[in-house]
Amino acid sequence: MSDDHEADTAGHLHFLRKGCIDVIQPDKHRFRVREPSVLFYPRPMQHRLQTDAEDAEIVCARIEFGAGILQPLFQSLPDVIHILLKSAAGLGRGVELLFEEAFGELPGRQAALDRLAEYVLILLLRDVAGRELIQSGTLRGLSDERLSKL
């Protein structure tokens, strides 16, 4: 299986619940994800996901931020964020709900997936802010205890 994101205009969220994937980026940087994880590309970036394992469970989402007020927030993030689900308990619970919906066939599935992807993105940003992975920018300011209460 291969999932290409070449000429896209959106960010991407990739969720790996089971199996192993190779992530190939434009600079030919390649890395392997072997544990349940979230990969977040906040801006358009060419990348490809590849797996040979038939038991891999992956859900992918396109994230359109537009040119609104949140754009500076996403510009301050690294090109790709990789978080192991075992290191972010709240994020793992949200991802599990996303997988249940993605592999189910209940009415309203797409609307539920859209809202769950938004929710998981919020959990991911909380996790990133809590780990202080961002040194400057809007998200760094929002993670400051004095500013976040305003």
pLDDT tens track, the chain, 150 positions? 545 544 456 889 999 999 999 999 887 788 999 999 999 998 888 899 998 777 889 999 998 876 655 566 677 788 889 999 999 888 989 999 999 999 999 999 999 999 999 999 989 988 888 776 665 454 445 545 554 554
Spatial separation of the C-alpha atoms in residues 87 and 141, rounded to whole Å: 23
The H-assigned helical ranges of the chain are 71-75, 89-102, 109-130, 138-143, 145-148
Q: Torsions phi, psi of 72, nearest 5?
A: -60, -35
Q: CA triplet 14, 15, 16: central angle to 5 degrees? A: 120
- Which CATH class for the 2-139 domain? mainly beta
Residue type, 116: L
Rg of the chain on CA atoms, in Å? 16
Phi-psi region of 127 (alpha: psi -120 to 50; beta: other; left: phi over 0): alpha
Contact 132, 143 (CB under 8 A): yes
